[in-house]
């Protein structure tokens, strides 16, 4: 299998894998994925690594900002950038 064929294969089945992981895959997509994983070592590796990564994120208990906090930070940054731009223009 060539490198581009492998990449296309992984790209196609990665979508099925991601959907299956979040219970968004249809029965047919899950069936295609299981059948494909039986033969494809590259996709097996992708699924294994993706599962490990998801487990690490779950275990890390990361805290994310609320959308309001993100917007506040974004506007502060925009104000800072615009004030610096005005300083340079003057």
pLDDT tens digit string along 23-37? 888 999 889 889 988
CA atoms within 13 A on the CB side of 60: 9
Q: Are 14 and 29 in contact (CB under 8 A)?
A: no
Segment 31-54 shows an average pLDDT of 89
pLDDT of 85 reads 65
- Closest-CA residue to 16 (of 1, 34, 2, 3): 34
Domain holding 64, by residue range, is 3-89
For the whole prediction, is pTM greater than 0.85? no
pLDDT of 58 reads 81
Confidence of residue 19 (pLDDT cuts 50, 70, 90): confident
Tally the domains of the chain: 1
Close Cβ partners of 14 (under 8 Å, ≥ 6 residues apart): 43, 46, 50
Close Cβ partners of 16 (under 8 Å, ≥ 6 residues apart): 25, 29, 30, 32, 33, 36
| Model confidence at 14: pLDDT above 70 | yes
């Amino acid at each position: 299998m060539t490198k581009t064929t492998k990449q296309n294969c992984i790209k196609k089945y990665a979508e099925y894998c991601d959907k299956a992981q979040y219970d968004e895959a249809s029965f047919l997509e899950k069936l295609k994925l299981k059948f494909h994983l039986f033969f494809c070592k590259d996709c097996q590796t992708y699924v294994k690594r993706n599962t490990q990564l998801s487990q690490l994120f779950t275990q890390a208990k990361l805290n994310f900002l609320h959308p309001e906090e993100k917007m506040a930070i974004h506007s502060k940054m925009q104000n800072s950038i615009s004030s610096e731009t005005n300083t340079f223009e003057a």
